[in-house]
Each structure stands twice: as C-alpha cells, then as structure tokens.
Amino acid sequence: MKKILNIVIAFVIAFSAVGCKDYFDINYDPNIPATENITNSMILPGVEGALATSYGDFLRITGGYFSEHYAQTFGTSNYVGYSQFSMSASQSSRLYTQLFQKVLVNSKTIMDRAVESKNYGDYIAAASLFAFTYQTLVDCYGEVPYTQAFDSDQYMAPAYDNGDVVYNGILATLDDALAKVGDGQPVAKNLLYPGGNSTDWIKFANTVKLKILSRMSKVSNSQAALDALIAEDNFITSDAQYAGCWANAETQASPFYSEEFAPWHSQDNVVANAALVAAMQFDTYTDPRLGVWFKKNNSGKYVGAISGCNLGSTASSPYNSAAGLCRPNITFDTPVSLISVAEVEFFKSEYYAGKDNAKAEEHYKKAIKASFASAGLTEDDAEENIEMYPFDKDNSNECIGIAKWIALSGCNNFESWCELRRLGYPEFGPVKGSDLWTGTDVSTSAVNALIPGTIYTPYQVFAQVGEGNVLERWPYADSSQSRNSNCPQFPGYTTPVFWAK
C-alpha cells in the first residue's frame, strides 16, 4: 500500500484546505502531507480534476472533429489533422499518461484503501471513475494494459488486454462495489457530488454500467445483465457533470474554455461543422439548441465550415473570415459532462426497440426532451424537434443514432464519436468534402444539398482512413509504445474496436 501511495503522492492536493476553484489552480503548491496522513478526501478530487481536464478538453475537441460536429476555422491549421480523421501516436500520449497515472492509479489506490477500511462509499465513487476511465481508453485504443497494469514489481511491461476483457473486468468491479455499498453512506470529499453520498454514486455507477452493457450488447452475451439493470431502473436523474467548479481565471476555468475561448488563449480553431448545421437548420426549421450551443456569425446566421481544410482567403463571403463562421458557445463555467439523462433515455430506447416499440418510442421522446431540458429549453421546443426527427420502429438504429449525434453535439462530443461507430449513424451522404470545398471556394449549392442527419468524407481525408470511412481507433500512445515492449502492432485506423465489429 505504501508503495502505491508513493506513486499517488505526487498528484495529491490538500483539498480540505482549499476551495473547489482553488483546487483547479495548477500553480497552487500545498505542503504535501506524510504518506500515512493522506486521506481519500485528498486523493479523490485529484482523480476527478485529471479526468475533467482530459475528458472535457482533448476528448471533447477530437470527438467533435471525428463526429463532424466541429470543423476548422478560417486561417488556422492547428487541428486540421483531426478534421481529416487523423490521430497520431504522439498526439494522444499526454491524455493516455494522465488517465493512467492520475486517474486509474489513484482510483485504484482509493479502492484498495476503502476495501481495507470497509469504507464502501469511497469504494463506489472510485470504482465508478475507474470503470468510466477504462471504458474511455478502450473506446479510443481498442486494447490497453489491464490485468497486469497495476503490479509494476512483477510486470514492468504489462500485456495489453483485448477490449472485451477490460469491459468484463470493469463490469465485475462495478458489480462488486454495488454489492458492497448501501444507500446513504458517506463519501470522501469530491467534485461530482459535493453535497451527496453513496446514493448519488450508486446511480452514477449503474449509469456507467448501462453504457458499458449497451455498448457491448451486440457482440457479447450481456442480455441478462442488461435486462436486470433496466428492470432496476436506478440511474441518474440529472446530468452527471462537473459544474460549479470553475472560476474565470487562467488556471481555474472550464478546460475547453481555457483551451479555445479564453482571453488568455492565442488562437481560435473550433467552429461548427456544415454537417451539423445542416442537421439542425433546414427548410423553415431551426433547432433551438443550435442557438444555445453555438453563436451566430457576424451576420446573425449559423454557418458551418468544411472538414479536412481550413478554407482560405479565396473563399467567398461568409467563409472568407473567421467571423463569418459559428463558434461553440463556451464560457468559463461550462460544465464538463460525463453522461447525461438524455443518453440514459437513448440507451433505454435502443433496449426496447424491436421488443416493445411503444416503450422504445416513449424513451426516444424522453431522450430528446431531456436534451432540450439540459439546454435550458422547454418540452414544447422539443416536440417540434420530435416531429422533424420522429421515432422509426423499422429503422431504430438510424433515428436513435442521428438524434443522439445531434443531442451530444452540445455536451459530449467524444461519446458521439463512439456511438457513431457503434450504431453506424449518421451515415455518409452523397455530398463529399471535395464537393463542398473546391480548393479555392465553398460551393453553396453543395452545402445546401447536404442531407440533414448525414456526414461527409472530409475534403482531404487521412489516407489510411480513406473515403467513406470514419476513424475507428487511435494508434497506441507513444508514451506506452516507448516504455512497453509488449505493446502490440497497431491493427490499423479502420479496424473497429471490439464492440463495433
């Protein structure tokens, strides 16, 4: 235990001595306590801070580009590679290292300490974050070290486990935690449910379990477990997100804001994608969520850019300036969403589709209404959207996939990329990026020809992905390849992770 804590201690912040906003100040340097005095209340906020900054920034940005929620603004090129469906081994190394060292290792430490002391409130919280993070890594890379990952004495180069092994392992971890904990038990100081207790974390754990079981449902024998979980119906009833933790200061603001929108940030990159704008604004209909999630351009309109390029000065108005495109509406206190009520309802709709289509439609409508509620909009607003995108019992994957893609564009772009790969929707439409951007100008006729609820091959697509394909997985991170002789050979960018095969 002391050896594990020596690894953890570098990431400990004395949360009990500072406020939530101070905790996110990376320049804060408290006196690090002696190992024996470290408490779970000191470690758990560090776990959450590392998860929030990774999940709410890098994964939100890349997920947005890979889902075609986002494209690159005029005149900059930082993320053009992402908009071409590219990811290198070096680009994700920092994320991989942070999630392993600061989230998984520390979560495992809390879990071990909690079992030893029979503090099962702490155990359910740490186990939930542990499972959530491991699922995220599998969804990115396909295979990651798991069974040998935490025994450095015996395994200096831990083997990579197949994704299904990791999924089954984290399901067992969640089941163990849920079996041990009861309602109303105390939990160490934390950021997700700062005034709550184990009851909140049980709901969150069940929701993470729902996501895991749903994602693997088509390739594994998980139906009985999913049946029991749906029947129990003890999921989150409000969005699980890091909110109220952020301050309008350089080291304390919401991570996506700090990266892209803050006054101390030097370059603007992310704008709305033409595919998403086409799905949310067509004929005489404008989805009210579009105005919540994106700002209008300098002419008071919603205009999206084209994946695979950063346009240029030869483009005609409004595409020939950054101000002519729409930026996401992000503020210093924008929440980092881990999972939403809308996602729960979409998973329920998928579960019932083909078995009880009336219930499937009921939960589909609830999902869209929950998305509107999260955006601060009304059920009446949602009803019009449901008319534009009705439930189709004969094509449930398609309608759920498109509605979920739209709903997640404003809060959880990474999960949208995952669900797009799994459900197969939105599909590629007849319009291509090379139709939209000629190399010198944007074709407004091609933009107008985009079919709502479709995506397109980027103007320049990463050659190893190719036309009509999405990026299915990331290459194994450099930070792992360089240190782990057991890192396997990369199977290719278009090889699906296990749940998408």
Q: Give the integer Cα–Cα distance in Å for 323 and 364.
A: 36
The secondary structure of 367-407 as a DSSP string is HHHHHHHHTT--HHHHHHHHHHS---GGGHHHHHHHHHHHH
For residue 240, give the H/E element and its range. Answer: strand 240-242
Note whether 262 and 332 are within 8 A (CB): yes
Spell out the SS3 assignment of 56-115.
HHHHHHHHHHHCCCEEECCCCCCCHHHHCCCCCCCCCHHHHHHHHHHHHHHHHHHHHHHH
pLDDT in tens, 392-428: 999 999 999 999 999 999 999 999 999 999 999 999 9
Q: How far apart are CA 121 and CA 497, in angstroms?
A: 33
Helix axes 341-352, 357-374, angle to 10 degrees: 170
Model confidence pLDDT, tens digit, residues 131-180: 999 999 999 999 999 999 998 888 889 999 999 999 999 999 999 999 99
What three-state secondary structure class fits 271?
strand
Alpha carbon distance 9, 13 (integer Å): 9
Q: What is the pLDDT of the chain when averaged over all its residues?
A: 92
Distance (Å, whole) CA 291 – CA 193: 29
Where is 339: in which H helix or E strand? strand 336-339
> CA 354, CA 20: separation in Å to the nearest integer?
46
C-alpha Rg value of the chain to the nearest Å: 22
Helices (H), 99-162: 105-117, 120-141
* pLDDT, tens digit (0-9, with 9 covering 90-100), for 65-75: 999 999 999 98
Quote the CA–CA distance of 24 and 246 in Å, as a whole number. 8
Consecutive H or E run containing 286: strand 285-286
- With the C-alpha atoms ordered 170, 171, 176, 179, is the resulting torsion angle positive or negative? positive
How far apart are alpha carbons 321 and 315 in whole angstroms? 9
Cα–Cα distance, 387 to 13 (Å, whole number) = 50
Query: What pLDDT is stored for residue 156 in this prediction?
Result: 87
pLDDT at 36: 64
Angle between helices 413-423 and 396-408 (to 10 degrees): 170
What is the C-alpha separation between 15 and 9, in angstroms, rounded?
13
| 186 upstream amide cis, omega within 30 of 0 | no
Distance between CA atoms of residues 51 and 98, nearest Å: 8
Largest Cα–Cα separation, the chain: 67
**Could you tell me if residue 248 is left (phi over 0), alpha (psi between -120 and 50 degrees) or otherwise beta?**
beta
| CA separation, residue 74 to residues 312, 319, 409, 442, 444 (Å) | 6, 7, 21, 12, 16
Q: List the chain pLDDT tens, one digit each, 501 residues.
A: 333 343 343 333 333 333 345 444 433 334 445 556 789 999 999 999 999 999 999 999 999 999 999 999 998 889 999 999 999 999 999 999 999 999 999 999 999 999 999 999 999 999 999 999 999 999 999 999 999 999 888 888 999 999 999 999 999 999 999 999 999 999 999 999 999 999 999 999 999 999 999 999 999 999 999 999 999 999 999 999 999 999 999 989 999 999 999 999 878 899 999 999 999 999 999 999 999 999 999 999 999 999 999 998 899 999 999 999 999 999 999 999 999 999 999 999 999 999 999 999 999 999 999 999 999 999 999 999 999 999 999 999 999 999 999 999 999 999 999 999 999 999 999 999 999 999 999 999 999 999 999 999 999 999 999 999 999 999 999 999 998 999 999 999 999 999 999
Residue with tokens 């103007």: 459
Q: What is the pLDDT of residue 311?
A: 92
Mark out the alpha helices in 244-356 (DSSP H runs): 255-260, 274-280, 288-293, 341-352
3-class secondary structure, 124: helix
